[in-house]
C-alpha cells in the first residue's frame, strides 16, 4: 500500500481549541452517584466531572453527592477520590481545590427506606448550600440486580416525582436477555417516565461514533452510495488487548456477547445502518436506530451456530511477558465455557441493506486495541487496468473509532511509470491532526448530556429490547444446546479462532487485519 495521502480539515475559523468547540451550558444541579465507592466512580465518573469542570462547563451551582454503604464522611470521600485524579490535579491544583468543595458523601443503602429519607434531607441541605435548584441526576452505578429496586426506592422517597427536575442514569448491562430487559423496562417505567431514564452506552459518547452520523448526513458524497447497490459487506470490530482483569465475577456470567456485542457493537451497527432522520432531534434519531435494529437478524436464524463463532483465549504472550489463559484467571471456573471472543454474521431486511452481510467481532487479548467500522464497496464491473501485485482491491471506507480516531478511504490510482497499471492508496483523516486535540472520553460527553437532559446518545427502551431480540437465537442455543456453539480456544495475542476466519471465508471474504 502506498503511504497515505493526508487530508487536513480546514479549521476556517479560529484554530484554537476554544474556537473549535461548541459547548452547551449545564444547568445548576446535584449529581448523585450510587456506587460511589466503586471502580467506575473513581476511574471514569469523577475524572469526567473534573474534566467538565476544567473545561468550565459546570455551573458554580453544582454538587456531586457520592452514596454507598460505607460510612465515609465528605472529607474521606474527597480523599478516596484524589488518587484516581492525580495527573489531572497536578495540572489544575487550584481547580481541584474549588471542585472538591462541591463533593459530598452520604452513606445510603438503597434497600433501606430510612436511608432514602435521610438522602432526601441531605439533598435539601446541599440545595440550600450550592443553589442546585432541586435539579437532581441520579446515577445508578450499582449491581444491575439493583436497578429496578433502586428506581423503586427513589420513587418511594418522592425523589423522582418531578420529571422536569429529576433523572436516572442506568449503566449497562440493561438485562441479560430479552425477557429480563422487558421486565426491567416495565419495572422502571412504573416509577419514572421514559424521558427521565438515561440508559448509558459509553460507545455512543465517543466522538468518532457520533461522527458516523455527521459523515453520513452532512455530506452529499456518501449517502447516495451508502446502500446495497454500492456496498458489498460491512465489518464492525471492537478488539481489545486486555483480558478479563479483575472482573471475572461479572464476566463469567456475561461473556463477550452480552458484555460488548448486544450494546456497543450493536449501537455502532445501528448508527452505521440507520436511515437519515428527518430532523436532528433525540426521538427522530432514536426512532431510526430502533427501526434498523428491528429489521436486523442473525444471518441464519434456523441454525444460529452457522452465523456465530465463540472463542476463549488460552495462554500466550512471550517468555518475558507471558499471558494467562482465561480459565487460569483468578475467579474463573477452570472449565469455563464463557466466550471472550465472538464473531457474528447479520443481515438487515430492509430496502437499503437487503443481502449485505454485516460481520461483527469482538475479543479480549487480541493483537491490537482497535474499534472500527469497515465498509467494502462492490468491485468495479469491468477491470480495464492490471493491478500492481495482482487483483485490484475494492474501495473501502474505514471509520476508525479508536485509537487513532479518524477515517480513511481506499481507492485505486495509476501506478507511476509508462504503463497503465493501478494500485491502491489511502486518503486519511485524523482527528488529532485536524483538530489538534484528542477527543473527550465518552463519559465526559454522556454525563454532560444526561445533566442537560439530552437523551440523543442514550438508548431508548425499544432499542434495548430490539438489540436483545437480535441475539435471542444465539442465547437460546446457549441455553438449550450449548454444544452447538462451543468455545474455540485461541492463543492470547492472536486474532481469534480459525473458525471465525471460516465464517468469512465461506463468503470469499477476509477479516481486515490492520
d(CA 442, CA 211): 13
8 Å CB contact between 297 and 346: yes
3-state secondary structure 220-273: CCCHHHCCCCCEEEEEEEEECCCCCCCCHHHHCCCHHHHHHHHHHHHHHHHHHH
Based on CB atoms, which residue is closest to ligand BG6, 189 or 247?
Answer: 247
Q: Shortest distance, CB of residue 371 to ligand BG6, whole angstroms?
A: 6
* Residue number, nearest CB to ligand BG6: 259
Asked if 134 is an active-site residue, the reply is: no
Number of residues this chain uses to bind ligand BG6 (CB under 6 A): 4
Residue nearer to ligand BG6 on the CB measure, 188 or 256:
256
Nearer to ligand BG6, 51 or 259 (CB): 259
**Cβ pair 107, 115 in contact under 8 A:** yes
CB of 490 to ligand BG6, least distance (A): 17
The grid coordinates listed for 355 are 443481502
Nearer to ligand BG6 among residue 263 and residue 395 (C-beta)? 263
Does residue 51 belong to the site contacting ligand BG6 (CB under 6 A)? no
* CA distances (Å), origin 197, targets 27, 185, 296, 445, 453: 18, 10, 25, 17, 10
Calculate helix-pair angle for 93-100, 46-54, nearest 10 degrees.
Answer: 120
Site string for ligand BG6, 192-231 (x = CB under 6 A): ----------------------------------------
CA–CA separation, 264 vs 93, rounded Å?
35
How far is residue 296's CA from residue 311's CA, in Å, rounded to a whole number? 23
- Please tell me the distance from the alpha carbon of residue 75 to that of residue 166, in angstroms, as a whole number: 26
**Phi and psi at residue 212, to the nearest 5°:** -60, -40
- Round to whole Å and give the CA distance between 58 and 69: 27
Shortest Å, Cβ 330 to ligand BG6:
16
Distance of closest approach, residue 386 Cβ to ligand BG6, in angstroms: 41
Nearest Cα to Cα of residue 323 among 332, 313, 338, 331:
313
Instruction: Find the catalytic residue in 42, 134, 264, 365.
Output: 264
- Say if residues 399 and 212 touch (Cβ distance below 8 Å): yes
Closest-CA residue to 329 (of 422, 244, 210): 244
Give the DSSP letter string of 115-146.
HHHHHHHHHHHHHHHH--TT-EEEEE-S-GGG
Shortest separation between residue 405's beta carbon and ligand BG6, angstroms: 12
Nearer to ligand BG6, 48 or 415 (CB): 48
Residue whose CB is less far from ligand BG6, 240 or 339: 240
Shortest distance (Å) from residue 424 CB to ligand BG6: 28
Q: Closer to ligand BG6 at the Cβ: 185 or 439?
A: 439
Cβ proximity to ligand BG6: between 115 and 405 the closer is 405
Q: According to the binding rule CB under 6 A, does residue 259 interact with ligand BG6?
A: yes
Pattern of binders to ligand BG6 over 351-390, x per CB under 6 A?
Answer: --------------------x-------------------
Sorted by sequence, the CB contacts under 8 Å of residue 431 that are 6+ apart come out as 207, 208, 405, 406, 438, 439
What is the smallest separation between the CB atom of 165 and ligand BG6, expressed in angstroms?
Answer: 29
Q: d(Cα 41, Cα 142) in Å, to the nearest integer?
A: 10
Q: Which of 106, 127, 240, 463 binds ligand BG6 (CB under 6 A)?
A: 240
DSSP 321: S
Q: Shortest distance, CB of residue 79 to ligand BG6, whole angstroms?
A: 28
Integer Cα distance of 218 and 353 in angstroms: 21
Neighbouring C-alpha atoms within 13 Å toward the C-beta of 158? 8
Number of H helices, E strands in the chain: 18, 20
Burial 238-267 (b: 16+ CB within 10 A, else e): bbbeebbeeebeebbebbbbbbbbbbbbbb
The nearest distance, CB 108 to ligand BG6, in angstroms, is 25
- Which is closer to ligand BG6, CB of 61 or CB of 405? 405
Is the CB of 262 or the CB of 294 nearer to ligand BG6? 262
Q: Burial code of 344-357, b = ≥16 C-beta within 10 A, e = fewer? A: bbbbbebebbeebb
Minimum gap (Å) between residue 236 Cβ and ligand BG6: 13
What is the contact surface with ligand BG6 in residues (CB under 6 A)? 238, 240, 259, 371
Q: So which residues are the catalytic ones?
A: 264
Amino acid at each position: 500500500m502506498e503511504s497515505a495521502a493526508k487530508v487536513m480539515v480546514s479549521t476556517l475559523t479560529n484554530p484554537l481549541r476554544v474556537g473549535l468547540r461548541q459547548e452547551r451550558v449545564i444547568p445548576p444541579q446535584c449529581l448523585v452517584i450510587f456506587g460511589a465507592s466503586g471502580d467506575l466512580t473513581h476511574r471514569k465518573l469523577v475524572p469526567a466531572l473534573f474534566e467538565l469542570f476544567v473545561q468550565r462547563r459546570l455551573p458554580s451551582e453544582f454538587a456531586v453527592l457520592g452514596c454507598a454503604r460505607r460510612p465515609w464522611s465528605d472529607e474521606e470521600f474527597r480523599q478516596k477520590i484524589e488518587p484516581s485524579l492525580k495527573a489531572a490535579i497536578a495540572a489544575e491544583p487550584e481547580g481541584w481545590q474549588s471542585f472538591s468543595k462541591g463533593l459530598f458523601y452520604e452513606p445510603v443503602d438503597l434497600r433501606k427506606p430510612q436511608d432514602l429519607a435521610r438522602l432526601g434531607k441531605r439533598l435539601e441541605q446541599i440545595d440550600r448550600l450550592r443553589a442546585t435548584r432541586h435539579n437532581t441526576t441520579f446515577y445508578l452505578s450499582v449491581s444491575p440486580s439493583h436497578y429496578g429496586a433502586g428506581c423503586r426506592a427513589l420513587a418511594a422517597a418522592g425523589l423522582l416525582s418531578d420529571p422536569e427536575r429529576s433523572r436516572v442514569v442506568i449503566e449497562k448491562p440493561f438485562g441479560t436477555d430479552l425477557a429480563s430487559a422487558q421486565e426491567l423496562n416495565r419495572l422502571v417505567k412504573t416509577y419514572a417516565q421514559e424521558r427521565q431514564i438515561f440508559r448509558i452506552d459509553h460507545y455512543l459518547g465517543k466522538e468518532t461514533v457520533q461522527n458516523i452520523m455527521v459523515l453520513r448526513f452532512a455530506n452529499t458524497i456518501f449517502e447516495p452510495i451508502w446502500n446495497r447497490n454500492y456496498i458489498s459487506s460491512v465489518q464492525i470490530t471492537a478488539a481489545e488487548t486486555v483480558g478479563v482483569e479483575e472482573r471475572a465475577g461479572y464476566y463469567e456470567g456475561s461473556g463477550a456477547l452480552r458484555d460488548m456485542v448486544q450494546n456497543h457493537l450493536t449501537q455502532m451497527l445501528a448508527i452505521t445502518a440507520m436511515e437519515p432522520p428527518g430532523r436532528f432531534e433525540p426521538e427522530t434519531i432514536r426512532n431510526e436506530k430502533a427501526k434498523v435494529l428491528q429489521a436486523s437478524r442473525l444471518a441464519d436464524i434456523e441454525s444460529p451456530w452457522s452465523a456465530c463463532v465463540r472463542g476463549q483465549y488460552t495462554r500466550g504472550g512471550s517468555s518475558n511477558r507471558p499471558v494467562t489463559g482465561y480459565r487460569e484467571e483468578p475467579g474463573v471456573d477452570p472449565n469455563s465455557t464463557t466466550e471472550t471472543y465472538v464473531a457474528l454474521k447479520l443481515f438487515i431486511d430492509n430496502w437499503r441493506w437487503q443481502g449485505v452481510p454485516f460481520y461483527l467481532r469482538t475479543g479480549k487479548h487480541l493483537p491490537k486495541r482497535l474499534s472500527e467500522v469497515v465498509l467494502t464497496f462492490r468491485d468495479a464491473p469491468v477491470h480495464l487496468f492490471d493491478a500492481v501485485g495482482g487483483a485490484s482491491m475494492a474501495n473501502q471506507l474505514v471509520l476508525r473509532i479508536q485509537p487513532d480516531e479518524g477515517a480513511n478511504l481506499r481507492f485505486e490510482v495509476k501506478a507511476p511509470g509508462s504503463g497503465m497499471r493501478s494500485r491502491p492508496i489511502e486518503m486519511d483523516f485524523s482527528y488529532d491532526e485536524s483538530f489538534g486535540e484528542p477527543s473527550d472520553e465518552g463519559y465526559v460527553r454522556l454525563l454532560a448530556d444526561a445533566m442537560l437532559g439530552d437523551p440523543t446518545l442514550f438508548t431508548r427502551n425499544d432499542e434495548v429490547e430490539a438489540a436483545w431480540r437480535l441475539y435471542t437465537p444465539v442465547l437460546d442455543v446457549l441455553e438449550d444446546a450449548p454444544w452447538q456453539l462451543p468455545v474455540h480456544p485461541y492463543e492470547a495475542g492472536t486474532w481469534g479462532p480459525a473458525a471465525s476466519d471460516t465464517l468469512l471465508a465461506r463468503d470469499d471474504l477476509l477479516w481486515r487485519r490492520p
